[in-house]
Amino acid sequence: MHGITIRDSDNLRGLLKVNLPKILCLLEAEVRGCSWRIADVDAVGRGAHKLHEAADNGQLLSPDAFASLISEIDQVIDGDFLCYHAGGTRPWLVISAVDSSAFDVESESPAVLEKVRTAFQDVEDLPRDGVM
């Protein structure tokens, strides 16, 4: 898998301008119908405990269950979100929150990476031996 790091931030306040919902919205068509697995997550928000539980259990989440969990999160500090095509055994897309300072996006699809790259401003390639 190849990947990119997104570090778009608000220069005045130094806050990260990219978040998981923005990336998921951008890739809505590509991830429609996919299942998700969450790992090593740290998040805050009304539903953070449910997100942590799903990560701890390592369960594969349906698209609706994943969307419901994410909708109750205010901020993902750290975590890996692995996306699987229906019936797939290996993730084709991995979105990683990195210490509230960046998001890494890795994919087998060059088109997905290009779509993400063009949607954000402060983007650089991950080393070839990225997360996955």
**CB distance 106 to 126 below 8 Å:** yes
Asked whether residue 13 is domain-assigned, the answer is yes
Asked whether residue 131 is domain-assigned, the answer is no
d(CA 5, CA 96): 9
Total of domains in the chain:
1
Asked whether residue 99 is domain-assigned, the answer is yes
| pLDDT, tens only, 103-122 | 999 999 999 999 999 999 99
- At 96 the three-state DSSP class reads strand
Query: In angstroms, what CA-CA distances link 86 with 40, 45, 53, 60, 94?
Result: 23, 29, 23, 11, 15
CB count, 10 Å around CB of 24?
18
| pLDDT, tens only, 20-32 | 999 999 999 999 9
Asked whether residue 49 is domain-assigned, the answer is yes
What per-residue confidence (pLDDT) applies to 129?
Answer: 57
DSSP classification of residue 103: E
Question: Which residue numbers in the chain have pLDDT < 70?
Answer: 11-14, 128-132
Closest alpha carbon to 2 in 82, 110, 88, 83: 110
